[in-house]
Amino acid sequence: MRTFADIPALLLAVAAAQEGLLSAEQCDRHGVGSARRSRLVRAGRWMAVTRGVVDTIVVPLRERTVADVPVGALPPLSRSDDAEASRSVRALRTAHRALSSADVVLEHRRRRKAWVGMLAFGPAATAVGTNALALHGVEGLPVDLRSEAALPHASDRVDRPGALLRQFDDGMTTVPFGDRRTGERQIASVDWAIAQAVPELPMAHGLAVLDSALRLEVLDRAGLALAHDHARGRRGVALRHELWDLADPRAESALESFGRWGCIEEGVPPDDLQLPVHAPSGRLLGVADMVWHLPGSRLLVAEMDGRAWHEGDERADHRDRDRDNDFAADPRIDLLRFDARHVRARTVGTQVRAFLGAARSRVNTGSGSNTGLGSY
């Protein structure tokens, strides 16, 4: 039986920082040459990703669990950059919140795609577009990203299987990313990454990305306007100009952004987001995700139930349940609850539109109903 020499600990530390990935250059530097890498891949101990890149995690990407995510991976830049001192307590809490196991795996999958692109094209490669946003910690991205990177100077390199080499934008600014294990690399600044990504993203994801950038305060309104200027003239942006106007930091999660976009598509955008709702006594019942004001001082409240956000957090789960019960017990409030299933089925907007249509019909006919919507 063939035995394998131990992989150098320093090389494994580099892999951990890079979501389990290594470049051929990094392996060579630590004494793991091409022949040895080939043996490790044939033996199923490592996995080939694309030319010049291997994965030290052999579990298929879609089958990975939180136990497979490397301990010590570089955190998103938005959680560790020097700009934290200027960010609000709310933004910092959002950036540093504990993630559910499911979200840890999803972030790993997104950031891994960014590392594939950078490692495939060498130390000078810059992560751009959605890949850069994943490394910045911006939320709302699709799970399965395309690995893409750019080089700052003209190059005769071409795409590699699973990794796209993009043109480096004239005037694009970059920020450093990396540590002693990886060496300093460059990724597109948030404004440029948004300009590159949003014109190519589905509308719901584009809105979620813009909401997230404001919520995390990695960009302010002026920075978002600058990103919009960078994006002008790109293919796809003409259909997405409205997203910049709709961006709202009050959306507390990508799921809420997706639900809101579904309502916008159906012509029933919410009147308010994250609205504090009080009982007649003045007691705060809770903060409603999306609100529509109805005649007679009534409210339609739509709650986006992001169970994944509270996985393992029993207190948060109970808090949401108590808030929903308080809403449901108040005769002035009509409550609709949605989760990721409704977003995937694209039924959030249609259900809200149907409810509002029925409410208007009852008002016009003066008929009563068990919900009290006839007593305006």
And the tokens for 149? 């990177």
Among 249, 275, 290, the domain boundary falls at: 249
Q: What is the pLDDT of residue 89?
A: 87
Distance, in Å, from the CA atom of 211 to the CA atom of 237, rounded to the nearest integer, reads 17
Task: Fill in the amino acid letter for 71.
Answer: V
Distance, in Å, from the CA atom of 122 to the CA atom of 116, rounded to the nearest integer, reads 10
The reply to whether 188 and 152 lie within a common domain is: yes
More confidently predicted of 62 and 159: 62
* 169 Rama sector, left if φ>0, alpha if ψ -120 to 50, beta otherwise: beta
The reply to whether 76 and 224 lie within a common domain is: yes
pLDDT tops 90 at residue 316: no
| Residues spanned by the domain of 145 | 59-249
Kindly provide the b/e burial profile for residues 81-117, where b requires at least 16 CB atoms within 10 angstroms of the residue's own CB. Answer: beeeeebeeebbebbeeeebeebbbbbbbbbbbbbbb
**Exposure on the CB side of residue 180, measured as CA atoms within 13 A:** 2
Residue 11 in domain: no
Distance, in Å, from the CA atom of 175 to the CA atom of 218, rounded to the nearest integer, reads 13
pLDDT tens figures, 171-186: 999 999 999 999 999 9
The reply to whether 321 and 235 lie within a common domain is: no
The reply to whether 131 and 209 lie within a common domain is: yes
Distance, in Å, from the CA atom of 141 to the CA atom of 130, rounded to the nearest integer, reads 7
Q: What is the pLDDT of residue 208?
A: 98
| Total domains, the chain | 2
pLDDT tops 80 at residue 82: no
Q: What is the pLDDT of residue 376?
A: 19
pLDDT tops 50 at residue 46: yes
The reply to whether 332 and 239 lie within a common domain is: no
The reply to whether 80 and 216 lie within a common domain is: yes
pLDDT band at 362 (very low <50, low <70, confident <90, very high): confident
Q: Mean pLDDT, the chain, as a whole number?
A: 89
Q: What is the pLDDT of residue 315?
A: 53
Distance, in Å, from the CA atom of 90 to the CA atom of 36, rounded to the nearest integer, reads 49
Distance, in Å, from the CA atom of 129 to the CA atom of 268, rounded to the nearest integer, reads 31
Residue 330 in domain: yes
Residue 45 in domain: no
φ, ψ (nearest 5 deg) of residue 147 = -70, 130
pLDDT tens figures, 86-106: 788 888 888 888 888 999 999
More confidently predicted of 87 and 330: 87
pLDDT tops 60 at residue 156: yes
Q: What is the pLDDT of residue 321?
A: 53
Residue 325 in domain: yes
The reply to whether 66 and 203 lie within a common domain is: yes
pLDDT tens figures, 120-149: 999 999 999 999 999 999 999 999 999 999
pLDDT tops 80 at residue 310: no
In a 10 Å sphere around its CB, with 0-12 CB exposed, 13-18 middle and 19+ buried, how is residue 294 labelled? buried
Q: What is the pLDDT of residue 328?
A: 67
Residue 278 in domain: yes
- DSSP one-letter string for 85-153: GGS-HHHHHHHHPPPPHHHHHHHHHHHHHHHHHHHHT-TT-EE-HHHHHHHHT-----SSPPEEEE-SS
The reply to whether 213 and 283 lie within a common domain is: no
Mean pLDDT along residues 321-348? 82
pLDDT tens figures, 259-294: 999 999 999 999 999 999 988 888 888 899 999 999
- DSSP one-letter string for 8-77: PHHHHHHHHHTTTEEEHHHHHHTT--HHHHHHHHHTTSSEEEETTEEES--S-GGG--GGGSPTTPPPPG
Residue 29 in domain: no
pLDDT band at 5 (very low <50, low <70, confident <90, very high): confident
The reply to whether 219 and 309 lie within a common domain is: no
- Are 109 and 20 in contact, with CB atoms under 8 Å apart? no
Of the candidates 21, 77, 82, the residue with the CA atom closest to the CA atom of residue 52 = 21
pLDDT tops 90 at residue 84: no
Among 198, 232, 249, the domain boundary falls at: 249
H or E element that contains 276 = strand 272-278
And the tokens for 301? 């409240």
The reply to whether 195 and 344 lie within a common domain is: no
Residue 77 in domain: yes
pLDDT tens figures, 210-244: 999 999 999 999 999 999 999 999 999 999 999 99
The reply to whether 224 and 271 lie within a common domain is: no
- Are 114 and 147 in contact, with CB atoms under 8 Å apart? yes
Residue 370 in domain: no
Specify the DSSP class assigned to residue 1: -
Mean pLDDT along residues 11-20? 98
Among 196, 218, 249, the domain boundary falls at: 249
- Are 162 and 49 in contact, with CB atoms under 8 Å apart? yes
pLDDT above 70: percentage of residues in the chain = 87
The reply to whether 139 and 156 lie within a common domain is: yes
